[in-house]
Structures are given as structure tokens and as C-alpha cells.
């Protein structure tokens, strides 16, 4: 794939440019949390519950304290006054367990932190953990959400014996009437299994307290340094402006670092207690056990339709495995599934009931897609189930039900307003790319030969740019500050926190176009609350749509001031600004940006009513979400002998609005598809009945490796968003959302001659072999 | 990785290695592909690691008459890429190429893999089919045992305390023989859920000689002599092979875990045996 040389001529937005971030990542010179070394730093190691549920009768730390090199050992009693791990989501009647940063008298999941050893190095700290003696009283546990709500199940929290954290109901239209009168009703139980996010870099925290000025600095691998600062300051009882949070290079988050964890406050507590810096780096085992998991749905879908395939109404009963307590957004994630349950189809009658269930497992929370993959998997499977029931082609039934192009802005049955869409366009394009007619002919031939070939379509819609502040727990705007330095070089401070999405590049493209500077003249700063003005962070495919828009508006403000200084220098009242210089429209004389910047700071003379300097800041509140969409087509063949699935072809046509850097967009789609493929074929976070995580290592939890990934063909249609002036929508999660239903639909299609209507993920060879065996019997 | 404290020794002779290993809390480090992960989880906590990389005479691949001698410290990558192995014992090269991933193959050794005796390891299927022998050394001398005697059970070998694997010997492949190793990969670990190795020699259009090794199916790899007998004397067509492999798992206590049930493993053993035999038959001249 060609990359364009970076030049000043022409617009850079829309060009395939290499990422500015990559040299430091590729050469191993980036600074991650574990690269931070401070003088006199201690290391922490955390003792965790080996039981899914247990009473702590007592803890003896004396032997650990005597171990040479151990500085301190803390248990629940020491930290009982530190504020609880916060839940930012609020739902009517939500039960919120008080989650101490170290367990008090009871643990409720394997991995629950119980004690922490602080020592001169990480080896001593780990050795001394084995010397902490806990008197355990193991209790019965429950790991399956459907079993947890059966009568007599062990109570995760004794105060709530039914294990129900909340019930949530949403309804629109006349659901009962439409279902009663419908010509066709199809029903299906669909599971979106527990997944483990597995970022390349695990979590890690370094805390450094300066007693002299009472300031605490926390370095943490986080997607939300500012929000984390506010919440950890509250937990520790210090002022927010006495806490600096730095999120250095973050090696992937996928939502798992869109959170505030016990360890962030715990390390702050230790640094303040000991007066020495302290570091904790999560082991991979800890990452599996204690960083949030994703998904965890058992969904009961019902669809009502006419015989001609027109979808009329949908019902959903959603059982969400929450785990044992709420992390930052745990209870909110299934509500996102409800918002997106109609997909991109035009019907108005919906009913959803969520039961949020406590289990003795690590909490679920936002994982790439966060609620939308579950919703999309549901509606896209249900549309195929309906098509099978009516013996209709899955492409045809979709085209029949899409929200029509003239319906935008489109008010959905769940209360959203879809901004713009042309839903048939990517589907037509994808059908054309795969030559759908020939593909079906090929399938017919394959079936005649006894081969199990399948074609799967998913046409997804999703919700990005989270989001308007009223719809979020902590503000959904984003901030940008642009400073033209005295040299004319440009420094951007953005409130987002990239973890691989490449905004140092895309934001530089926007700046370069607006100010007429070179890409390399732009420095993009992020992730340090002492450097960057307050911001929200990177999640929910929001960074460019909201953060990029804040940047755009700050640049417009700044350009006005540049023109004022330009007019002053050129002694003209008629100037324009383009290509990095002010031009007098009468004389043609020019003043370039460095000259203007120099004059603005030297301030020998100032334009009327103008302050020195060239800085502009914008906090942008989006008027709506954005709603990208697309069509994925997957061709598979199932091995009759083993049940193994081979992906023969994968085509992803996405519409994420205007594209700033096609190479980055393709990368996001490809990575997203691979994660969706992981869910469809391989990944499953399995807890056994006693609440032990059986898939707690990469030896047992299969994420796709390069050799397991097919060639992914990407293409795009472009339907700009009217929500923001850049016309962008967001693409970070689209691939994941589109992928799992297209793969599962394809395999169901492959096995449909055997009467198969649905398959639950992951589609392991053995699960398919059992079906093939059943058919042979 | 935060293992328990350990000493690290790099002996420069076998004698020195034996002396170090006389300490019951010492453990041999070959390629470290199984031991190091266990130390990471503190499932293993040796007080001393005795790294054999500096011991002369444990590396190298050489041909001695009709026998290929492979040093215990030869890596999977060396076996996979060695022109000598590919020519004189292609089954061993094919087995090595199927192990784990590039990093594992660059570090892991045949001796280390054998001494660890993981029931899902790749080599044992081929080594059974090759009727390999394992040379074992100790301070009191040497002995050579067959692969069948060497692999005793899950993670259990014929090695006595103080003994080391020093060499694996396999016969040079017969002229015109067809070989194949077919494996169902466990997608997380890369180990074999089931792996079957086949060696076939044809004469006058009939299978004159068959050797079949199976790994992953049960707690210990084995040679499927029943399958071999049923193949020999047949033309090796699909029905012959189907009949021959039908009983491959008879009487075998198949492994049952989250990656495959016992019944599915039994089924896979038949499927992959048939695939290995079909490939070997087609390659045999």
C-alpha cells in the first residue's frame, strides 16, 4: 500500500499518511508505565483471593514484615477509609456494593485484592506475598448468571440474596398488539460470551508523593487520565489539583483501561503512607483475573414480522453477567445494547428487559464495542433467523427493512436520532465485491458436492462519538487547546488519550490543513493532567468526532487572531489566511506564520483590542452521537470431518463518514474484525462452577494469531455526519461490531442444509462436529 | 516474570553439569519453553538452574551410517531447517516445523521437550513412528532406551535422578518412503489436541511397511501397531485406511479437557490418522 510523502501542498486530510507515532513504537523507545523509574522507588505485589467467595477470619502479616527488604504490608483494615472503587453509572434502583480497594472481611471473586506487600524490589515483594497468612473460610460461589438468579443460589452479596443488581425496562409502541397480530414470530436464545480484553500492555501504576507540596503524581496505563484524576482524588481525600495523572504510552486498552481500578488508589495510598514512590505492574495472570472482562450476555430475542419479510417489532430479555461488583460503567453497558437493538432497520415497536446479575466473577465492563456488538449480533442473527423462516435471501430481507435514505434524521424506537445514513450503499458494494450471485451459484455447486459452504452477511449500525453530555456519566464533550509557538510551530493539547488509534497523526493532518504548516511542525500532547486542560478521554469511538471537532473549532478561533496580527503587519484591512501565510488581498504582500507568531509574542505593537500570544482553547459539546454503519460479508467452509471453520473470504465495507487517514481507518477496521473473529471462533472466558477462571492464561485462552486471520478486504462508502463540521463518525469499534454476526451467519448458512438455525459463539470445531454427528446419526 | 529466587549455573562440561545436578533442588534448563512458564507461575521453583547451552557435545546433527544422531540441545528450528534432516529424516523436520511458533522453535530443544514429556507435545508421534532411541548419560555411564520405554506417562520419563538426555537417534528414512505428520492445533497454546505421524513404504503397489505414532490423544504418546498391521499388505486406498484407523483409539483412555472432549479426541485421532496416512501413501514411491 502506497503512502504519500508529507508535503505542504494540497490537503492532507483524506491522505494515506504514515503514523507519526510509529517510529518510537517500532524502535522500542516509547515510554510505558513500566519504563518509569524514580529514585528510591519501591515495588508492590498484591495478594489476591484464591477463592471465588470466602470469609477472611484473619490475616497475619508478621512473617512478611520480617522478610528482608519488605517496607510495608497493608490489609483491608489499613485502607477501610479510602473511598470505594467508583461506579459511574446510575440506573433506577441500582444496587451498588461498597467495593473497598482491599477486601475487608469477605472476598467475592478469584483475584479480589486482599493485601499488598511493598518492598525494595519486585522480587522481594512477590516472595513476601507467600509469607502473608490468611485464615480463609471458603463459601459457596456462583459463576453462571442464569444459575445465580435461581432460587437458593449462593448470594454474591449477603445483603441481596436474589443476586439481582437491577432490572431495567424500556418500551416503545404497541409491542403486545403487534406480536399478537403478527403473521410470523421467530424466537432465539443468543449468547454473547464472556471475553477477556488482553491488551498487549497489562495495567500498571506508579505513584509518587511529594510531601513538601502535598502533591501526588500517578502514572497509569489509562484511557481516561482526567476522569481518573477526579475519582482517585476523591477516593484518597485529596484535592484534584493536588493529583497529577499521567497516562504515558498505553499499549492497547480496548475499553479495559476505560476505568478506575483499586490499584490506582492503592498505589497512591502507599506512596502517601511511605513517602516513597511505588510501582505495581500487573502480571498477565492478574490481567486475566482482575482487569474487567467484556460481554457476558444471555439474550432472549423475539422478532415479529409480516410474511413478506417486513420486520414489525422486537422483544429482548437480556441477562447481563455483571460479575461481583460494579467497575466504572459495568451496569451501563447492557443499556447500550438496548439502545442499538433495532439495528439499522425501520420498525418502531420494541420492548427490552435487562436483568443485571451479580456472579462471583470479575466484573464485566466496556470491551471494544461495549454493548453494541451484543446488540448487533442479536439483530443480525435474528434477521437471518427470520430470513430462514421465510425462505428469503438474507441480502434481500435486509434491503427491504433498512431505514430509507429520506428518513434521516431518523428517530429510533429506542429514543435515538440517527444522524445520516445510506444503508443500502455498503451492502450493494459488498455484494458487488464478492459477486454475490456467483457466490450463491458456487454454494449450490458446493452443496451438491457435499461441501458445507456458507455466505454470511451482517449490516451493522453503531453508535459513536460518546457522547452528548446528558447521555454520559461525566460529561461527553471534549477539549482542545492549540498554541502557535513564537517560531510558528504548533502545539496541540487534546483531552483525548490515544492507545493506538493514531490521533497524533490525524490531528496533525487537521492542523496542517487549517494552518498551512507541515505535519512535522505539529506536536500533539495528551495524557498528562498537568499539561493538558481538562478532558474526557478515548473510548466509544469518540476521539476524532468530538476531540477532533474541538480541535477544529480552536483552530478557527486561532485563525481569526492570526489574521488580526497579519493585518497589522501588512498594514491592511483586507487580508486572507491560507497556505500558512496572511496575504494582503490588495497588494499581494504576505506575512508568514512564523513572522506573525513572533510579532504576537514580542508584542511591540498589538492589533486593536487584541492580547499578545496565539493560543486558543475549545470545549466542544456534540449535539448528537454519530451513527456509522457498514456491511460485512464472510464466506466460510466447514470441514465435515472435524467441524473446523475456514474463512475463505472476508469483505468489510464500512461507512464511518469522512475519512481523515484511510490507512489508519483500514488498520482500525482490520484490527476490529480480528477481535470480532476472536469472539466468533475462539475466545471464551470460562469460569467453572466454583468460580475459578479456567481460561486464565494464553495457554488456554485463544486470541487470534496472525496465522489464524484471513485476508481482510476493506472498502468504504462515505456518508458524512452532519453532527460535526469534519463530517466524521468514528471507526474504532466498527470492525468488531460487524464481524461476529457475519462469521456466525456464514457458518449457520453453511450448516443450514442440516436444519441449523443458530449457533452460539465461539464456533469451536467440536461444537460443530457434534452437530454434524447428530445429522449423521 | 517474577519467579522465586534461583541460582544460575552454566557448566562447561557434562561432568560439571552432573555435579551441579547432584543437588536435588537443581533443575536442567534446556530451551526453557516449558520450565520458564512454570517458574513464572511459581509452579516450579528450582533453587538452581543448570543451563546446558555451554556443554559441548549436546548440539549438532550428524549422520552415522544409516542413523541420524540429533544432540539433545538441537532446537526445533535447527531440525526444521536442516537440509540433512529434511533429506534423511523428513518426518522429524516436519514434526519440528509444527511446534508452537517461531519464538518457541528458536529456543526449544528436542531433548528438553522429550525430558518434559508433555502429553500434547509434537515430537513423540514422529519418534514413535520412527522407532527412535534416546541416549541417556549419567555420572556412572550411558544407556540407550527406545522411545517407547523412555516415555513412561504424562510428564514422566525413564530418566532417573542425575540422568540427562544427550542424544536422540532415528533411522535414515528408507528410499521411496512417504511420511507425514498431521496435527489438530489447540488454538491457544499451539500444542497438539491430536497429532499423528505416519511412515509408509510401498512395494509393488502395496503397503509393505507402516509405522504410525499418535500424540495428544491420551496421557502418553504411543505407536498404533494395530493400525500398522491392518495397513500392511493393503493398497492403501481410502477404504483400507478407513478400516485401519477405525480402532486407533481402542482401549485408550483419551484426554478430556476444555479444548476437546475424550469422544472428540478419539474422533480426531481417526481423522488425523487417516489424513497422515493418505498423505504418506501419496508421497511414497
Are A38 and A206 in contact, with CB atoms under 8 Å apart?
A: yes
- Is there a contact between B267 and A686 if contact means CB atoms under 8 Å apart? no
> Which set of grid coordinates corresponds to residue A283?
502480571
Q: Is the pLDDT of residue A6 over 60?
A: no
DSSP structure class, residue A395: H
Q: Which of A113, A234, A275, A196 is nearest to A701 (CA)?
A: A196
Distances A559 to A80, A102, A193, A620 between C-alpha atoms, Å: 53, 52, 50, 17
pLDDT for res A1: 38
**Exposure of A29 by Cβ count < 10 A (0-12 exposed, 13-18 middle, 19+ buried)?**
exposed
d(Cα B43, Cα A49) in Å, to the nearest integer? 17
What confidence tens digit (pLDDT) does each residue in A66-75 have?
A: 999 999 999 9
Are A565 and A610 in contact, with CB atoms under 8 Å apart?
A: yes
Number of other CB atoms surrounding residue B236 within 10 Å: 23
> Which set of grid coordinates corresponds to residue A186?
421467530
Phi-psi region of A691 (alpha: psi -120 to 50; beta: other; left: phi over 0): left
Share of chain A above pLDDT 90, in %: 98
Q: Which of A732, A678, A727 is nearest to A706 (CA)?
A: A678
- A454 φ/ψ angles, rounded to the nearest 5 degrees: -130, 150
3-state secondary structure A405-437: HHHCCEECCCCCEECCCCCHHHHHHHHHHHCHH
Q: How many CB pairs under 8 A join A and B?
A: 44
Distances A743 to A75, A248, A460, A738, B254 between C-alpha atoms, Å: 47, 36, 13, 9, 31
- Is there a contact between A642 and B261 if contact means CB atoms under 8 Å apart? no
3-state secondary structure A6-69: CCCCCCCCCCCCCCCCHHHHHCCCCCEHHHCCCCCCEEEEEEECCCCCEEEEEEECHHHHHCCC
pLDDT for res A776: 83
Number of other CB atoms surrounding residue A83 within 10 Å: 18
Chain A: closest CA distance from residue B197 (Å): 18
Q: Is the pLDDT of residue B219 over 90?
A: yes
- Is there a contact between B5 and A123 if contact means CB atoms under 8 Å apart? yes
Residue A90's Cβ-side half-sphere holds a number of Cα atoms within 13 Å equal to: 5
> Which of A646, A699, A771 to probe the B interface (max B CBs under 10 A)?
A699
What confidence tens digit (pLDDT) does each residue in B226-273 have?
A: 999 999 999 999 999 999 999 999 999 999 999 999 999 999 999 999
Are A719 and A422 in contact, with CB atoms under 8 Å apart?
A: yes
Contacts of A770 in chain B (CB under 8 A): 264
Of the pLDDT bands very low, low, confident and very high (cuts 50, 70, 90), residue B277 is: very high
Share of chain B above pLDDT 70, in %: 100
What confidence tens digit (pLDDT) does each residue in A430-472 have?
A: 999 999 999 999 999 999 999 999 999 999 999 999 989 999 9
- A378 φ/ψ angles, rounded to the nearest 5 degrees: -65, -55
Q: Which helix (H) or strand (E) holds A338?
A: helix A333-339
pLDDT for res A10: 59
pLDDT for res A467: 83
Chain B: closest CA distance from residue A82 (Å): 29
Chain A segment 619-648 residues within 8 A of B by beta carbon are 641-642
> Which set of grid coordinates corresponds to residue A291?
482487569
DSSP structure class, residue B180: E
Are A370 and A178 in contact, with CB atoms under 8 Å apart?
A: no
- What number of H helices and E strands is found in chain B? 12, 14
A-chain residue closest to B184, CA distance: A642
Chain A: closest CA distance from residue B187 (Å): 6
Edge to edge, the sheet with strand A70-75 lists A70-75, A113-119, A42-48, A278-281, A204-210, A215-220, A243-246
Helix (H/G/I), strand (E/B), else coil: A196: coil
Which residue in the set B5, B187, B268 is minimally distant from A702, CB to CB? Answer: B187
pLDDT for res A429: 98
Q: Is the pLDDT of residue A526 over 60?
A: yes
What confidence tens digit (pLDDT) does each residue in A264-312 have?
A: 999 999 999 999 999 999 999 999 999 999 999 999 999 999 999 999 9
The overall average pLDDT reported for chain B is 97
Distances A26 to A21, A32, A34, A37, B176 between C-alpha atoms, Å: 9, 13, 17, 21, 48
- Is there a contact between A702 and B5 if contact means CB atoms under 8 Å apart? no
pLDDT for res A373: 97
Q: Is the pLDDT of residue A3 over 60?
A: no
Cis preceding-peptide flag for B211 (omega within 30 of 0):
no
d(Cα A59, Cα A136) in Å, to the nearest integer? 9
Compute the 3-state secondary structure of chain A and give helix, strand, coil in percent, each to the nearest 5: 30, 25, 45
Q: Which residues pair with A167 in a beta bridge?
A: A355
Of the pLDDT bands very low, low, confident and very high (cuts 50, 70, 90), residue A777 is: confident
Angle at which helix A424-434 crosses helix A436-448, to 10 degrees, equals 50
d(Cα A484, Cα A482) in Å, to the nearest integer? 7
> Which set of grid coordinates corresponds to residue B148?
517407547
Q: Is the pLDDT of residue A235 over 80?
A: yes
d(Cα A318, Cα A191) in Å, to the nearest integer? 10
- Is there a contact between A682 and B187 if contact means CB atoms under 8 Å apart? yes
Number of other CB atoms surrounding residue A603 within 10 Å: 12
Number of other CB atoms surrounding residue B257 within 10 Å: 13
- Is there a contact between A699 and B41 if contact means CB atoms under 8 Å apart? no
d(Cα A737, Cα A672) in Å, to the nearest integer? 8
Chain A: closest CA distance from residue B102 (Å): 12
Which residue in the set B188, B264, B267 is minimally distant from A701, CB to CB? Answer: B188
d(Cα A746, Cα B214) in Å, to the nearest integer? 34
d(Cα A205, Cα A245) in Å, to the nearest integer? 10
d(Cα A524, Cα A196) in Å, to the nearest integer? 31
- A210 φ/ψ angles, rounded to the nearest 5 degrees: -105, 100
Strands A522-525 and A490-494 turn out to be: parallel
Q: Which of A381, A680, A417, A366 is nearest to A541 (CA)?
A: A366
Contacts of A687 in chain B (CB under 8 A): none
Distances B63 to A10, A142, A360, B167 between C-alpha atoms, Å: 66, 60, 59, 13
pLDDT for res A775: 87
- Is there a contact between B187 and A700 if contact means CB atoms under 8 Å apart? no
Q: What average pLDDT does the segment A80-94 reach? A: 96
> Which of B39, B43, B187 to probe the A interface (max A CBs under 10 A)?
B187
Edge to edge, the sheet with strand B67-71 lists B61-64, B67-71, B164-171, B133-138, B141-146
pLDDT for res A145: 98
- Is there a contact between A705 and B101 if contact means CB atoms under 8 Å apart? yes
First-to-last alpha carbon distance for chain A, in angstroms, is 50
- B228 φ/ψ angles, rounded to the nearest 5 degrees: -55, -45
Q: What average pLDDT does the segment A218-243 reach? A: 98
d(Cα B84, Cα B61) in Å, to the nearest integer? 8
Of the pLDDT bands very low, low, confident and very high (cuts 50, 70, 90), residue A634 is: very high
CA-based torsion, B260, B266, B268, B269: positive or negative: positive
A306-322: burial string, b at 16+ Cβ within 10 Å, e else: eeebbbbbbbbebbbbb
Q: Which residues contact residue A483 at a Cβ distance below 8 angstroms, ignoring those fewer than 6 apart?
A: A490, A491, A492, A493, A614, A615
The pTM for the full model equals 0.96
The overall average pLDDT reported for chain A is 96
3-state secondary structure B189-224: CCCEEEEEEEEEEEECCEEEEEEEEEECCECCCEEC
Contacts of B41 in chain A (CB under 8 A): 285, 697
Q: What average pLDDT does the segment A301-328 reach? A: 98
What confidence tens digit (pLDDT) does each residue in A124-135 have?
A: 999 999 999 999
Contacts of A642 in chain B (CB under 8 A): 184, 268, 271
pLDDT for res A79: 98
Chain A segment 705-744 residues within 8 A of B by beta carbon are 705, 708
Task: Please provide the size of chain A in residues.
Answer: 777
Amino acid at each position: 500500500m502506497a503512502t504519500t510523502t508529507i508535503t505542504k501542498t494540497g490537503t492532507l486530510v483524506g491522505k494515506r499518511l504514515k503514523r507519526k507515532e510509529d517510529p518510537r513504537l517500532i524502535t522500542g523507545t516509547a515510554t510505558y508505565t513500566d519504563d518509569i523509574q524514580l529514585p528510591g522507588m519501591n515495588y508492590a505485589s498484591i495478594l489476591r483471593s484464591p477463592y471465588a467467595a470466602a470469609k477472611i477470619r484473619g490475616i497475619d502479616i508478621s512473617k512478611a514484615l520480617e522478610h528482608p527488604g519488605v517496607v510495608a504490608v497493608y490489609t483491608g483494615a489499613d485502607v477501610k477509609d479510602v473511598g470505594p472503587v467508583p461506579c459511574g453509572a446510575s440506573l433506577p434502583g441500582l444496587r451498588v456494593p461498597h467495593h473497598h480497594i482491599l477486601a475487608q472481611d469477605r472476598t467475592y471473586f478469584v483475584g479480589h485484592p486482599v493485601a499488598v506487600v511493598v518492598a525494595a524490589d519486585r522480587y522481594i515483594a512477590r516472595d513476601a506475598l507467600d509469607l502473608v497468612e490468611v485464615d480463609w473460610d471458603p463459601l459457596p460461589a456462583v459463576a453462571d448468571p442464569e444459575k445465580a438468579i435461581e432460587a437458593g443460589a449462593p448470594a454474591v452479596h449477603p445483603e441481596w440474596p436474589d443476586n439481582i443488581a437491577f432490572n431495567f425496562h424500556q418500551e416503545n409502541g404497541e409491542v403486545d398488539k403487534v406480536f399478537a397480530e403478527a403473521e410470523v414470530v421467530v424466537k432465539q436464545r443468543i449468547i454473547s460470551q464472556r471475553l477477556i480484553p488482553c491488551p498487549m500492555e497489562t495495567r500498571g501504576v506508579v505513584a509518587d508523593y511529594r510531601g513538601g507540596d502535598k502533591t501526588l503524581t500517578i502514572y497509569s496505563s489509562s484511557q481516561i487520565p482526567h476522569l481518573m484524576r477526579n475519582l482517585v482524588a476523591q477516593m484518597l481525600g485529596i484535592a484534584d489539583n493536588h493529583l497529577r495523572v499521567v497516562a504515558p504510552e498505553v499499549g492497547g486498552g480496548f475499553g479495559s483501561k476505560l476505568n478506575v481500578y483499586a490499584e490506582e488508589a492503592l498505589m497512591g495510598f502507599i506512596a502517601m503512607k511511605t513517602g516513597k514512590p511505588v510501582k505495581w505492574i500487573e502480571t498477565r495472570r492478574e490481567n486475566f483475573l482482575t482487569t474487567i472482562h467484556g460481554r457476558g450476555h444471555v439474550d432472549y430475542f423475539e422478532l415479529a414480522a409480516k410474511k413478506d419479510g417486513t420486520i414489525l417489532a422486537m422483544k429482548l430479555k437480556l441477562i447481563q453477567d455483571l460479575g461481583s461488583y460494579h467497575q466504572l460503567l459495568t451496569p451501563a453497558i447492557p443499556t447500550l445494547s438496548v439502545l442499538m437493538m433495532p439495528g439499522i432497520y425501520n420498525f418502531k415497536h420494541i420492548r427490552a428487559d435487562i436483568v443485571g446479575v451479580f456472579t462471583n466473577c470479575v466484573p464485566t465492563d466496556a470491551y471494544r464495542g461495549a454493548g453494541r456488538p451484543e446488540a448487533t449480533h442479536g439483530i443480525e442473527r435474528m434477521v437471518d433467523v427470520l430470513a430462514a423462516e421465510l425462505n428469503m435471501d438474507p441480502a434481500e430481507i435486509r434491503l427491504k427493512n433498512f431505514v430509507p435514505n429520506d428518513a434521516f434524521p431518523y428517530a429510533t424506537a429506542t429514543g435515538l436520532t440517527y444522524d445520516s445514513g445510506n444503508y443500502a450503499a455498503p451492502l450493494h458494494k459488498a455484494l458487488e465485491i464478492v459477486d454475490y450471485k456467483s457466490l450463491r451459484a458456487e454454494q449450490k455447486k458446493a452443496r451438491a458436492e457435499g461441501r458445507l459452504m456458507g455466505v454470511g452477511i451482517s449490516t451493522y449500525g453503531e453508535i459513536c462519538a460518546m457522547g452528548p453530555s446528558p447521555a454520559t456519566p461525566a460529561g461527553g464533550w471534549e477539549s482542545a487547546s492549540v498554541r502557535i509557538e513564537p517560531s510558528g510551530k504548533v502545539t496541540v493539547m487534546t483531552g483525548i488519550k490515544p492507545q493506538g488509534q493514531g490521533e497524533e497523526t490525524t490531528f496533525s493532518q487537521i492542523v496542517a490543513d487549517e494552518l498551512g504548516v507541515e505535519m512535522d511542525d505539529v506536536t500533539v500532547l495528551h495524557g498528562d493532567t498537568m499539561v493538558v486542560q481538562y478532558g474526557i478521554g478515548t473510548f466509544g469511538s469518540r476521539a476524532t468526532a468530538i476531540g477532533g471537532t474541538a480541535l477544529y473549532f480552536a483552530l478557527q478561533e486561532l485563525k481569526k487572531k492570526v489574521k488580526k496580527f497579519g493585518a497589522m503587519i501588512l498594514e491592511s484591512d483586507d487580508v486572507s489566511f491560507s497556505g500558512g501565510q496572511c496575504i494582503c488581498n490588495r497588494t499581494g504582500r504576505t506575512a508568514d506564520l512564523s513572522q506573525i507568531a513572533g510579532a504576537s509574542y514580542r508584542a511591540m505593537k498589538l492589533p486593536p483590542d487584541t492580547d499578545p500570544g496565539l493560543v486558543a482553547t475549545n470545549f466542544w459539546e456534540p449535539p448528537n452521537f454519530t451513527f456509522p454503519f457498514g456491511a460485512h460479508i464472510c464466506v466460510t467452509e466447514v470441514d465435515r470431518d472435524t467441524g473446523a471453520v475456514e474463512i475463505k473470504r472476508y469483505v468489510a465495507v464500512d461507512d464511518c463518514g469522512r475519512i481523515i487517514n484511510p490507512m489508519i481507518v483500514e488498520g482500525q477496521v482490520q484490527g476490529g474484525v480480528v477481535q470480532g473473529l476472536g469472539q466468533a471462533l475462539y475466545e471464551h472466558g470460562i469460569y467453572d462452577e466454583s468460580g475459578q477462571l479456567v481460561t486464565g492464561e494464553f495457554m488456554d485462552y485463544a486470541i487470534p494469531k496472525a496465522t489464524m486471520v484471513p485476508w481482510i478486504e476493506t472498502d468504504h462508502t462515505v456518508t458524512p455526519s452532519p453532527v460535526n463540521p469534519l463530517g466524521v463518525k468514528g471507526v474504532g469499534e466498527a470492525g468488531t461490531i460487524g464481524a461476529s454476526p457475519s462469521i456466525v451467519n456464514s457458518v449457520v448458512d453453511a450448516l443450514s442444509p442440516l436444519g441449523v438455525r443458530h449457533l452460539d459463539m465461539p464456533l469451536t470445531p467440536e461444537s460443530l462436529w457434534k452437530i454434524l454427528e447428530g445429522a449423521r446419526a | 516474570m517474577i519467579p522465586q529466587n534461583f541460582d544460575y549455573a552454566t557448566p562447561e562440561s557434562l561432568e560439571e553439569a552432573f555435579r551441579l545436578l547432584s543437588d536435588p533442588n537443581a533443575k536442567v534448563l534446556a530451551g526453557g519453553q516449558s520450565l520458564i512458564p512454570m517458574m513464572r507461575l511459581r509452579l516450579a521453583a528450582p533453587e538452581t538452574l543448570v543451563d546446558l547451552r555451554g556443554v559441548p557435545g549436546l548440539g549438532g546433527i550428524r549422520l552415522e551410517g544409516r542413523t541420524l544422531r540429533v544432540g539433545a540441545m538441537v532446537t526445533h528450528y535447527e531440525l526444521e531447517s536442516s537440509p540433512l534432516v529434511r533429506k534423511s529424516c523428513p518426518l522429524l523436520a516436519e514434526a519440528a516445523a509444527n511446534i508452537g511458533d517461531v519464538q518457541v522453535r528458536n529456543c526449544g530443544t528436542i531433548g528438553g521437550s522429550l525430558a518434559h514429556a508433555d502429553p500434547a507435545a509434537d515430537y513423540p508421534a514422529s519418534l514413535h513412528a520412527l522407532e527412535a532411541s534416546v541416549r541417556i548419560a549419567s555420572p556412572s555411564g550411558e544407556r540407550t532406551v527406545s522411545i517407547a520405554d523412555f516415555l513412561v506417562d504424562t510428564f514422566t520419563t525413564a530418566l532417573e535422578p542425575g540422568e540427562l538426555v544427550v542424544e536422540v537417534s532415528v533411522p535414515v528414512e528408507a528410499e521411496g518412503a512417504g511420511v507425514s505428520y498431521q496435527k489438530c492445533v489447540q488454538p491457544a497454546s499451539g500444542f497438539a489436541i491430536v497429532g499423528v505421524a505416519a511412515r509408509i513404504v510401498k512395494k509393488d503397489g502395496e503397503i509393505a511397511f507402516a509405522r504410525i505414532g499418535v500424540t495428544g490423544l491420551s496421557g502418553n504418546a504411543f505407536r498404533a501397531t494395530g493400525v500398522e498391521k491392518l495397513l500392511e499388505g493393503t493398497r492403501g486406498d481410502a477404504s483400507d485406511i478407513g478400516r485401519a484407523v477405525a480402532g486407533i483409539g481402542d482401549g485408550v483412555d483419551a484426554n478430556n479437557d476444555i479444548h476437546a472432549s475424550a469422544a472428540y479426541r478419539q474422533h480426531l485421532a481417526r481423522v488425523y490418522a487417516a489424513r497422515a496416512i493418505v498423505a504418506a501413501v501419496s508421497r511414497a514411491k
